[in-house]
Structure 1
């Protein structure tokens, strides 16, 4: 199963059944070759450039460049040097001259802070960019993140730890009357997004923050919200490089949290205002138009410790689409004043999908409630594999097991259903 999917919506009408205690896997050679060719097309079309920012932690950037080169996933690695006091050169970051052709450095005349993340992506020659801060080690989940992006390329794909994942679910906004359908995500722990999104974001910053230029440096706060689509986020344990806290960080600067608060409110106000204006605008010049190109709805995803599969489910801890939103009273929803606390957070942590992929036979994922019709859990093996074996243990009541269907897919769109023996 190379891409996430919705088994209950795309099940084949001609289901192939169990025989005794074994399943007859029935993909034809033609189906496999056709799906594999499509997978190769996606890899070529959505090639990715790795991007990094440099300021004062040269050692950390050098370490990040090293592991990104080792993966050999990227046509190019572009480093944007935000430190105007130095002229960063390739020889400082890599000793092997053979790698020079894969590295490009852009030396900025000023420190653009977060805005530089989108400036550097706009310079990419590929359709998409991978970004990570130099203090996070994305090597533990890089393969899963790239596979997840190619399965649904019109969505922002990112990575974060459980508490922030839950917080971002709380910081979502829906209003179907104006086509508001957005959520928040940081991109620093590892993210992939289309280059055109970065280019468009830079235009938005020029237009909508022309009277608030001091907030442009906090571009990350606006980026995911202004995409007007829910990001696809991994709920995993992230890894920080040791010794990466040297030097003052942007978040430690004076007035940072005040500016972050202002940015969070302004981001949703600008989006809501323009979407409401769109409803009365008869022209095609609509602002923040949502193209609805995403292939799949909202999941919780956790990649395995070996980064060789993704567990995902549509069983969410919060019914995000039915949380009422009114800009006049909910404008602080995405601020630090609305950080989740108490029993709801404790419940999510104790029922986290990380327990599926922790390689500990003593733990398991429990949804915390009864399963509902249409809910599922699934495994994405990142790419099409024909020599694969795995076991799945479902410790539910016999009644549920007798009515549990198994679905298999090569592309995440067309599914073969294997009915339960007694269902």
Structure 2
């Protein structure tokens, strides 16, 4: 062994980061927190007790600049005292009492009213408390895409519900937002414009705005694939999803969403300026990954090994517009769907 190849072994392991680099990373984290502050959004209908429980764990987390509770029920005038459960200050809560039930559209109306650059949304029947920190960290690392959480079976459904066509800059993917999601406020504001323009002849589908939102962002969402849990809720009558024609309207919305996007992206190629097109910032920082939060919400597990290569799935609008159906997934006793 030459003198130049001498090694100095010790009991310490050098992981390659100096104290200065750790301080730099911490300062960068502080800057991201200041730049990408977040408002939490809750929707209230009839489950006042459940909404109060959701507001309580969001207040306890102390991660949000404000909490906006949009009351979709014109027969109930919601106040802060309705939400009082523990000894948290309610100063950061803002209540908007709507004159009508706007259903899904209200989520984006509420976010558009936020004082922050981004919004966290969760339905009042899901407990997002055990992955809040991870989801927020994931968003701040890559703020230009939708970040969400879902269960394994839905995750695989959503993965198939992806569309790629590089010739028209189509890179769309689907995600529900109800189990916990974060997106830029400008995306909510733009979505409201899209609903007015592109659904003017389908006003009955505006209530199902969630089906259109992620597809019209024209970028693959970052989705946590993990076991999720419900908040205990009382019976509050018929839910929106159990109303007449809901499943038919949901299906029609999923088909219409990709058809409208595909049509407009083709128009983009023709340089037609007589319409509002679907823009895509293409500022994504990281490749497509499968992610989940740790049980204690103190780190994120992720892998770039996807269960299927979504970018190579061929797309033809004439036959692939119904990709949203779960019939595309394998079934049977031998089939399992794994969380990360």
TM-score, normalized by the shorter chain, greater than 0.5 = yes
- Could you give the per-residue CA deviations for residues 8-51 of structure 1, whole angstroms, max 9, x where no partner exists? xxxxxxxxx99699742232233222222111100111011011
Alignment of 1:189-228 (within 5 A): 189-228=179-218
Query: Matches of 1:284 and 1:179 in 2, distance apart?
Result: 19
Q: 1:72 aligns with which of 57, 62, 84?
A: 62
Pairwise CA distance, 1:158: 0.3
Q: Is 1:340 aligned to residue 303 of structure 2?
A: no
- Equivalent residue number for residue 48 of structure 2: 58
Equivalent residue, structure 2, for 1:393: none
Q: More displaced, 302-311 or 88-97?
A: 88-97
CA distance in 1, matches of 2:228, 2:203: 32
8 Å CA contact retained: 2:211, 2:253: yes
- Does residue 295 of the first structure (1) align with residue 285 of the second (2)? yes
Corresponding residue number in structure 2 for 1:88:
78
| Match in the other structure for 1:167 | 157
Query: Secondary structure, in 3 states, of the residue corresponding to 1:346?
Result: coil
* Match status 1:281 vs 2:271: yes
Q: CA deviation at 1:302?
A: 1.3
Question: Which range moves more in the overlay, 224-233 or 290-299?
Answer: 290-299
Q: Does 1:258 align with 2:236?
A: no
**Structure 1, residues 369-405: CA drift from partner, whole Å, max 9, x if none?**
xxxxxxxxxxxxxxxxxxxxxxxxxxxxxxxxxxxxx
Three-state SS of the structure 2 residue aligned to 1:49 is: strand
Distance in 2 (CA, whole Å) between partners of 1:206 and 1:127 is: 23
Q: Choose from 121, 126, 130 the match for 2:116.
A: 126
SS at match of 1:106: strand
Aligned to 2:222: 232
Distance 1:274 1:344 in 2: 42
Structure 1 residues 344 and 208: CA distance shift in structure 2, 3 A: farther
Equivalent-residue separation in structure 1 for 2:23 and 2:73 (angstroms): 49
SS at structure 1 position matched to 2:302: strand
Matched-pair contact (CA < 8 Å) for 2:56–2:85: no
SS of residue in 2 equivalent to 1:101: coil
TM-score w.r.t. the length of structure 1 is 0.75
Matched residues, number: 334
Aligned-residue Cα RMSD (Å) equals 2.2
Task: Name the CA distance, whole Å, in 2 between partners of 1:234 and 1:275.
Answer: 28
Q: 1:268 — aligned with what? A: 258
The offset of 1:84, in angstroms, is 0.5
Matched-pair contact (CA < 8 Å) for 1:163–1:345: no
| 2:130 aligned residue | 140
Q: Deviations over 1:82-126 (max 9, x none)?
A: 000121111111267872321100000000000000000001000
Question: Hey, what's the Cα distance between the residues in 2 that align with 1:245 and 1:186?
Answer: 23
For residues 20 and 285 of structure 1, the distance between their equivalents in structure 2, rounded to whole angstroms, comes to: 67
Q: Give me the whole-angstrom Cα distance separating, in 1, the residues matched to 2:12 and 2:303.
A: 25
Structure 1 segments unaligned to the other structure (5+ residues): 1-16, 354-423
TM-score, length basis structure 2 = 0.93
Tell me how far 1:284 sits from its aligned partner.
11
Q: Does the Cα contact within 8 Å between 1:234 and 1:300 map onto a contact in 2?
A: yes
Match of 1:188 among 169, 178, 187: 178
Q: What per-residue deviation string (whole Å, max 9, x for no partner) do you get for residues 225-275 of structure 1? A: 000000000011001012355422110010000100110000000000000
- The structure showing larger relative contact order (alpha-carbon pairs under 8 Å, at least 6 residues apart) is 1
Q: Deviations over 1:167-212 (max 9, x none)?
A: 1111100000000001100000000100000000000000000000
Q: Distance in 2 between matches of 1:213 and 1:87?
A: 27
Preserved CA contact (<8 Å) 1:136 1:241: yes
CA distance in 2, matches of 1:68, 1:199: 23
Within 2, Cα distance between the matches of 1:139 and 1:231? 21
Going from structure 1 to structure 2, the CA distance change for 1:94 and 1:18 (only over 3 Å counts) comes to: farther
In the alignment, the residues of structure 2 paired with residue 87 and residue 286 of structure 1 have an alpha-carbon distance, to the nearest angstrom, of 37
Could you tell me how far apart the structure 1 residues matched to 2:88 and 2:159 are? 44
